């Protein structure tokens, strides 16, 4: 329905934001700025989901990552850190190893991207995915439905919470 | 009842008739953005005036009464004044984050504002996860507040921001759960369908006991979420001067001020939408003549009227109750509201599963 050019411009815009702010998030020396740049990356990612008309995942991305995890990061930064720029020298051996890993990763990604054969799009992205379908898939117990992983995740989160409480209460 | 989608469809046809589809879409987006910003600003002005008048009434005063009839354009004059004020730059702060913070707050508030169904066919964003998106969008604002407190380089701001963050994260749970209770009753997350589902009877009557409990919990949590009294610890003026926005001046301060008032309206509007039928007129099953008569009142008036009542109730809270302490605030949420909410959720599920609602 819409013009292909507009879709390309929107996609390019979101992709550029993700790429630029990802790099800025890892190169920034101020930790709160890094968190802010990471937030922009997550915004743009949720923008991509909305772009694909998958508004459920987009809203989840906004709520869980932007509204939850980044807030948690900022909270822990506020509670622990003073905003001194980190001046710790990065050891040159470490730097070389990091560069090696980075370029290895880039090379591997480019190789995979170029050699992979992409399947034809199986989902029609012009309409929103019905919420009822998502709910049944997430909570159904039949084949191809995900209630077991969902519950296992909740047990994992519960274990994390109990562990956090245990660590926090140790002193008394 | 008048359907506003007739108007939007007419504009759409008009634009598509005289230019290409791409250009029409771009122009429509710009138009919608401008209208959204305009309506947002006007709402803020009206709400600030209303707050001052209500506050005056509760304190046996007259309130603003010099500019315009009955002080009616006082806030317009205030707006012009604040627009001309200097934005003071503060030394030893992170300028980028300091200037970014008010915009984060306003963006979160605007995104949530765009989801509100003002009348039949008068809604900008209508996702099928509408209400969920609204919660997600309003959670962006917390980040702005934390950022403001941190980057102000002021310990009062920081304490205010920390309080605000703890408070908003806690009370978001209650808001989400009480909304979820009503979503179980309505069976959909889409705001337009939630309103349509109240054609027979508003949800607060349809879901009787659990809906009433959810409504009360929602109002308490909603008031706390907007950092308003009696939950205004983040900006408790007797302790923290002004909390997280102490250091802000000019229009940057104005953004926080405007966002706070519109957030209050958003809370009232969601209460209206999911409990009191949104723009749906008061319909009582069996009384067809009465229902038909109610349909003659335009949907926008229904919506704004109900929201105004809710806004008044929230203001009433602020000027009646004393401020809570931070430990009382956190206790209220985690020891009382959250268990009540979870039990209420189970109660609603049982009632819906057994079909015991009206």
The fraction of chain B above a pLDDT of 70, given in percent, is 99
Containing domain of residue A155, as a range? Answer: 129-172
Distance in angstroms (rounded) separating the CA atoms of residues A94 and A101: 10
Backbone phi, psi, residue B143, to 5° = -60, -45
Digit-coded pLDDT (tens) for B192-230: 888 888 887 888 878 788 888 889 999 988 888 888 878
The token duo for B125 is 């964003």
Residue A89 falls within a domain, yes or no? no
Q: pLDDT (tens digit, 0 to 9) for every residue of chain A, 172 residues total? A: 456 778 888 889 999 999 999 988 888 878 888 888 999 999 999 988 888 888 888 888 888 888 788 888 888 887 776 655 556 665 677 788 888 999 999 999 999 988 887 777 666 666 777 778 888 888 888 887 888 888 999 999 999 999 988 888 876 5
Q: Taking Cα atoms as reference points, which of B35, B28, B37 lies closest to residue B9?
A: B28
User: Which residues in chain A have Cβ-Cβ distances shorter than 8 Å to B97?
Assistant: 32-33, 36
What distance in Å separates residue A160's CA from the closest CA in chain B? 18
Does residue B234 register a pLDDT over 90?
Answer: no
Per the rule left: phi > 0, alpha: psi between -120 and 50, beta: everything else, B154 is beta
Chain B positions contacting chain A at CB under 8 Å are 21-22, 25-26, 94, 96-97, 100, 127-129, 132-133, 135-137, 139-140, 142-143, 146-147, 149-151, 158, 161-162, 165, 169, 172, 188-190
Examine the predicted complex and report whether its ipTM is higher than 0.90.
no
Residues A69 and A133 occupy one common structural domain: no
Residue A88 falls within a domain, yes or no? no
Label each residue of B155-188 as H, E or C. HHHHHHHHHHHHHHHHHHHHHHHHHHHHHHHHCC
Residues A10 and A73 occupy one common structural domain: yes
Total tally of structural domains belonging to chain A: 2
User: Inter-chain contact B129–A63, Cβ cutoff 8 Å?
Assistant: no
Digit-coded pLDDT (tens) for B49-86: 888 888 888 898 888 888 888 888 888 888 888 888 88
Q: Which helix (H) or strand (E) holds B329?
A: helix B326-331
Residue A48 falls within a domain, yes or no? yes
| Predicted local distance difference test score (pLDDT) of residue A59 | 87
Residue A51 falls within a domain, yes or no? yes
Confidence of residue B343 (pLDDT cuts 50, 70, 90): very high
Residue A63 falls within a domain, yes or no? yes
| B331 contact partners, CB below 8 Å, separation of at least 6 | none
Identify which has the larger pLDDT, B244 or A83.
Answer: B244
Residues A3 and A72 occupy one common structural domain: yes
Domain boundary (A27, A55, A83) is at A83
Residues A134 and A78 occupy one common structural domain: no
Residue A107 falls within a domain, yes or no? no
| Predicted local distance difference test score (pLDDT) of residue A100 | 92
Residues A12 and A78 occupy one common structural domain: yes
Domain boundary (A54, A83, A112) is at A83
B91-100, B179-188, B209-218: range with lowest mean pLDDT? B91-100
Residues A4 and A65 occupy one common structural domain: yes
Residue A32 falls within a domain, yes or no? yes
Instruction: Report pTM.
Output: 0.86
Residues A73 and A138 occupy one common structural domain: no
State the burial class of residue B148 (Cβ atoms within 10 Å of its Cβ: 0-12, 13-18, 19+): buried
Residue A42 falls within a domain, yes or no? yes
């Amino acid at each position: 329905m819409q013009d292909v050019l507009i879709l390309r411009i929107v996609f390019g815009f979101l992709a550029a934001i993700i790429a630029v702010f990802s790099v800025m998030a890892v190169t920034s020396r101020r930790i709160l700025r890094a968190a802010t740049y990471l937030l922009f990356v997550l915004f743009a990612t949720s923008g991509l989901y909305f772009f694909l008309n998958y508004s459920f995942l987009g809203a989840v991305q906004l709520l869980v990552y932007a509204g939850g995890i980044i807030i948690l990061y900022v909270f822990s930064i506020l509670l622990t850190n003073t905003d001194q720029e980190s001046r710790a020298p990065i050891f040159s051996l470490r730097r070389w190893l990091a560069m090696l890993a980075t370029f290895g990763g880039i090379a591997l990604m480019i190789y995979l991207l170029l050699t992979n054969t992409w399947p034809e799009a199986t989902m029609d992205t012009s309409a929103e995915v019905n919420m009822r379908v998502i709910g049944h898939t997430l909570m159904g117990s039949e084949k191809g439905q995900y209630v077991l992983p969902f519950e296992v995740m909740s047990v994992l989160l519960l274990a994390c919470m109990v562990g956090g409480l245990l660590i926090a209460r140790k002193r008394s | 009842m008048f359907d506003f989608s007739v108007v939007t469809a007419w504009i759409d046809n008009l634009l598509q008739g005289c230019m290409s589809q791409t250009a029409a879409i771009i122009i429509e987006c710009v138009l919608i953005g401008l209208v959204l910003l305009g309506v947002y600003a006007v709402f803020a002005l009206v709400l600030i005036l209303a707050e001052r008048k209500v506050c005056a009434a509760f304190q046996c005063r007259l309130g603003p009464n010099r500019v315009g009839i009955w002080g009616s354009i006082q806030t317009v004059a205030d707006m012009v004044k604040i627009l001309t004020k200097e934005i003071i730059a503060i030394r030893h702060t992170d300028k980028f984050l300091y200037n970014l913070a008010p915009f984060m707050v306003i963006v979160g508030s605007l995104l949530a504002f765009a989801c509100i169904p003002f009348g039949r066919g008068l809604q900008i964003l209508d996702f099928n996860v509408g209400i969920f998106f609204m919660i997600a969008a309003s959670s962006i604002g917390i980040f702005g507040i934390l950022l403001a407190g941190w980057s102000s380089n002021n310990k009062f701001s920081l304490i205010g921001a920390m309080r605000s963050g703890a408070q908003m994260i806690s009370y978001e749970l209650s808001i989400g759960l009480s909304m979820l209770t009503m979503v179980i009753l309505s069976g959909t997350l889409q705001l337009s369908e939630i309103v349509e589902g109240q054609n027979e009877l508003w949800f607060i009557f349809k879901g009787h006991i659990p809906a009433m409990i959810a409504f009360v919990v929602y109002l308490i949590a909603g008031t706390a979420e907007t950092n308003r009294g009696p939950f205004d610890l983040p900006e408790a003026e007797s302790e923290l001067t002004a909390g997280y926005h102490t250091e802000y001046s000019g229009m940057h301060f104005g953004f926080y001020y405007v966002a706070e008032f519109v957030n209050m309206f958003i809370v009232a509007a969601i209460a209206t939408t999911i409990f009191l039928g949104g723009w749906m007129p008061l319909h009582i099953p069996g009384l067809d003549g009465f229902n038909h008569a109610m349909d003659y009142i335009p949907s926008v008036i229904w919506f704004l009227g109900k929201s105004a009542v809710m806004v008044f109730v929230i203001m009433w809270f602020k000027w009646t109750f004393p401020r809570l302490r931070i430990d009382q605030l956190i206790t209220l949420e985690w020891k009382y509201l959250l268990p009540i909410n979870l039990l209420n959720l189970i109660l609603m599920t049982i009632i819906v599963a057994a079909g015991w609602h009206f």
